[in-house]
A and B are shown apart, each in its own frame.
Chain A
Amino acid sequence: MSRQAFAYLALLALGIALPFFVYPVLVMKVLCFALFACAFNLLLGYTGLLSFGHAAFFGTAAYVAGYAIKGWGFPTELGLLAGTAASAFLGWAVGSLAIRRTGIYFAMVTLALAQMVYFIFLQAPFTGGEDGLQGVPRGRLLGLIDLSRDLNLYYFVLAIFVFAFWLIYRTIHSPFGHVLTAIRENEPRAISLGYDVAKYKLLAFVLSAGLSGLAGATKMLVFKFATLTDAHWHASGEVVLMTILGGMGTVLGPVVGSSTIVTLQNELADKVGSLVTVIMGMIFVVCVLAFRRGIVGEISALYKRMIGARNEQ
């Protein structure tokens, strides 16, 4: 067994054991944001597209899944799927518009369209406005397993995360993923090699949006409500921060980044109050100025240097 596979298995074992040591709801929150960040990283880290509007997909899925389960009486797993599908569809619409521009314009377009989605949610009757959509029942998985128990729900969330993580891992290492990396590295060259770059970008965008939606819908299920916070631009910024802090363009970076940020927010919330935003902003500034490879990026660079030094001897 390769060293890498062993490391992933060890992480999985950690994931299975963790709820016995840490409050399960906190770990579930970390898993949801980790999935969100991994999905985002597929776009920023592997396609080179900075979307500043991913909260729209996170929030849309939360609302749609919540409404499907509470308002239409969908079973839990169908509700989650409905939310994911809605986000993927929204991702298709936003993506088709945004990929017409590149670089910073791409970031501004996604941000503006996400703000539009936010305003729609603010005014639409089914979202409950400022109060949000509350009291969504967790229901039973496949009609059998009672998800209102935190531990049952935890393993369901872990399974969703592992599945999505595997999907992202496979995507990155597939021929499709290599074309995405080629686009990130040198777009004109990818075009001249005959790749339909727009189609690849759009597909990556839809995939990223759909998986972000899955994360949002799952988070809604954990907390039993969907609110405007999920769709606010602060959430878009947070997922960027998680990805950069952990290391963009690394497979595990977003997981590390989101665990750090969520834990930090959880620890700081009652200690410093609204200064949390200031601290998040400072981490952002420090990351951009001095720490662009992120935690995982720095560790793997260090590791490579050590290997290199050993080989030279």
Chain B
Amino acid sequence: MTAIFDIPIQALMAQLMLGLVNGSFYAVLSLGLAVIFGMLNIINFAHGALYMMGAFLAWMGLEYLGIGYWPSLLLAPLAVGLFGILIERSMLQWLYKLDHLYGLLLTFGLALVIEGFFTNSYGVSGQPYSIPAELTGGFNLGFMFLPYYRGWVILASLLVCFATWFGIEKTRLGAYLRAATENPQLTQAFGINVPLMVMLTYGFGAALAGFAGALAAPVIQVSPLMGSHLIITVFAVVVIGGMGSILGSIVTGLGLGVIEGLTNLLYPAASNTVVFVIMAIVLMVRPAGLFGKEK
């Protein structure tokens, strides 16, 4: 067995792998969007810009301070998370009583500011960031070649997604969080500091985006525009999956990444648009999204 439908199995596996890598980023980013949306009722348009920031901070850490990949993987999300907290405290907190659309508009403005700032400082061309020495090379599995780094991206994303799911569904803090999402006033009445939870939630969501960015830095060129290209696709992913469930976000993200990879193999011209086409079909068949609940 070396070919299916005249497609060499190596090519098929390579595209599947690429699809899973992209899907991992979709999963982590849409998870962050869902967590923020659940608590703040805001669609964070700045998510793509925060993702880009994560990648840039990793790159800058290496370029200016000599901070290697592994510490960056921790420091970049931390810095982006703190930046997110700053945004929440200084701006977003004033919008909670208004129409949710204002949150989208504000974060859109922020995305422009962040993106414009980096474009102005570094231009639009990409900065290379090399794969850490421990993860260069790869396995030869016989039927395909698996680069270590790609495997690591998928593994790390799944771990982070699982940890987030576990934290929200199975821990005490997660229970407070779910309670505050369900009924903020009542939760506050029980003595839980809801505004603090909201702040930390936004910070955590931002940190997830930053983590995805740092993780992506070695597989793509670090460029100021990398986030905005991705975030619109992630929005489509969110519409397809619905933001009702955490596992739903993860499954939808990975699944769409794989579909995109396969499309790239079968009909490359459509690989950019296939996610949007699927979104249109889902809207026709199941407007609330695959895992969503109609309110």
Residue positions of A touching B, CB distance < 8 A: 50, 52, 97-98, 100-101, 103-105, 107-109, 111-113, 115-116, 119-120, 122-123, 233, 237, 240-241, 244, 273-285, 287-289, 292
Complex: chain B residue closest to A282, CB-CB: B113
For B273-288 the 0/1 string (1 means CB < 8 A from A) is 1011101100110010
Considering the complex of A and B, which 9 residue pairs feature the smallest CB-CB distances, nearest first? Answer: A284-B109, A281-B112, A277-B116, A281-B113, A278-B116, A116-B276, A112-B236, A285-B109, A100-B287
Q: Is B272 touching A119 in the complex (CB atoms < 8 A)?
A: yes
How far is A115 from B232 in the complex, measured between Cα atoms in Å? 7
Q: Is A105 touching B239 in the complex (CB atoms < 8 A)?
A: yes
Is B111 located at the chain interface by the 8 A CB criterion? yes
How far is A36 from B10 in the complex, measured between Cα atoms in Å? 50
How far is A104 from B105 in the complex, measured between Cα atoms in Å? 10
Q: Is A274 touching B273 in the complex (CB atoms < 8 A)?
A: no
How far is A241 from B104 in the complex, measured between Cα atoms in Å? 12
Q: Is A112 touching B269 in the complex (CB atoms < 8 A)?
A: no
The one of A103, A284, A285 in contact with B101, judged by C-beta atoms closer than 8 angstroms, is: A103
How far is A241 from B95 in the complex, measured between Cα atoms in Å? 17
How far is A240 from B109 in the complex, measured between Cα atoms in Å? 11
Q: Is A107 touching B269 in the complex (CB atoms < 8 A)?
A: no
Q: Is B112 touching A284 in the complex (CB atoms < 8 A)?
A: yes
Is B228 located at the chain interface by the 8 A CB criterion? yes
Q: Is A285 touching B106 in the complex (CB atoms < 8 A)?
A: yes
A274 and B100 in contact, given A119-B272, A289-B106 (Cβ under 8 angstroms): no
Q: Is A101 touching B287 in the complex (CB atoms < 8 A)?
A: yes
* Distance from A295 Cβ to chain B, minimum over Cβ atoms (Å): 16
How far is A280 from B116 in the complex, measured between Cα atoms in Å? 9
How far is A214 from B171 in the complex, measured between Cα atoms in Å? 56
Q: Is A108 touching B238 in the complex (CB atoms < 8 A)?
A: yes
> What are 9 sample pairs from A and B whose C-beta atoms fall under 8 A apart?
A52-B104, A97-B284, A98-B283, A108-B43, A108-B239, A115-B232, A276-B116, A277-B116, A289-B95
For the complex, would chain A's binding face be called helix, strand, loop or mixed by DSSP majority? helix
Q: Is B101 touching A107 in the complex (CB atoms < 8 A)?
A: yes
Q: Is A108 touching B235 in the complex (CB atoms < 8 A)?
A: yes
How far is A285 from B105 in the complex, measured between Cα atoms in Å? 8
Q: Is B120 touching A107 in the complex (CB atoms < 8 A)?
A: no
Q: Is A240 touching B232 in the complex (CB atoms < 8 A)?
A: no
Residue positions of B touching A, CB distance < 8 A: 43, 91, 94-95, 98, 100-102, 104-106, 108-117, 119-120, 228, 232-233, 235-236, 238-239, 269, 272-273, 275-277, 279-280, 283-284, 287
How far is A273 from B119 in the complex, measured between Cα atoms in Å? 10
Q: Is A111 touching B116 in the complex (CB atoms < 8 A)?
A: no
* Distance from B252 Cβ to chain A, minimum over Cβ atoms (Å): 14
Complex: chain B residue closest to A44, CB-CB: B101
How far is A276 from B116 in the complex, measured between Cα atoms in Å? 8
Neighbouring B residues of A103 by C-beta, 8 Å: 100-101
A277 and B115 in contact, given A116-B276, A284-B109 (Cβ under 8 angstroms): yes
Q: Is B283 touching A104 in the complex (CB atoms < 8 A)?
A: no
The one of A112, A240, A281, A285 in contact with B116, judged by C-beta atoms closer than 8 angstroms, is: A281
Q: Is A116 touching B277 in the complex (CB atoms < 8 A)?
A: yes
Q: Is A111 touching B120 in the complex (CB atoms < 8 A)?
A: no
Complex: chain B residue closest to A237, CB-CB: B108
Complex: chain A residue closest to B99, CB-CB: A103
Among B104, B105, B238, B273, the most chain A Cβ lie within 10 Å of the Cβ of B105
Q: Is A284 touching B119 in the complex (CB atoms < 8 A)?
A: no
Q: Is B101 touching A50 in the complex (CB atoms < 8 A)?
A: yes
Q: Is A120 touching B273 in the complex (CB atoms < 8 A)?
A: yes
How far is A38 from B268 in the complex, measured between Cα atoms in Å? 39
The one of A105, A111, A275, A288 in contact with B102, judged by C-beta atoms closer than 8 angstroms, is: A288
* Distance from B229 Cβ to chain A, minimum over Cβ atoms (Å): 9
Neighbouring B residues of A98 by C-beta, 8 Å: 283
A285 and B91 in contact, given A100-B283, A109-B239, A123-B269 (Cβ under 8 angstroms): yes
Q: Is A233 touching B232 in the complex (CB atoms < 8 A)?
A: yes
Among B109, B116, B120, B284, the most chain A Cβ lie within 10 Å of the Cβ of B109
How far is A111 from B276 in the complex, measured between Cα atoms in Å? 10
Among B275, B277, B279, the most chain A Cβ lie within 10 Å of the Cβ of B279
How far is A97 from B232 in the complex, measured between Cα atoms in Å? 17
Neighbouring A residues of B117 by C-beta, 8 Å: 278
* Distance from A54 Cβ to chain B, minimum over Cβ atoms (Å): 14
How far is A282 from B106 in the complex, measured between Cα atoms in Å? 9
Taking A107-B104, A282-B113 as known contacts, 16 extra A-B pairs with beta carbons closer than 8 A to each other, sorted by chain A number, are A52-B104, A100-B287, A101-B287, A107-B101, A111-B232, A111-B235, A119-B273, A123-B269, A233-B228, A241-B109, A276-B116, A277-B112, A277-B116, A279-B116, A280-B109, A284-B105
Complex: chain A residue closest to B108, CB-CB: A237
Q: Is A278 touching B43 in the complex (CB atoms < 8 A)?
A: no
How far is A52 from B43 in the complex, measured between Cα atoms in Å? 13
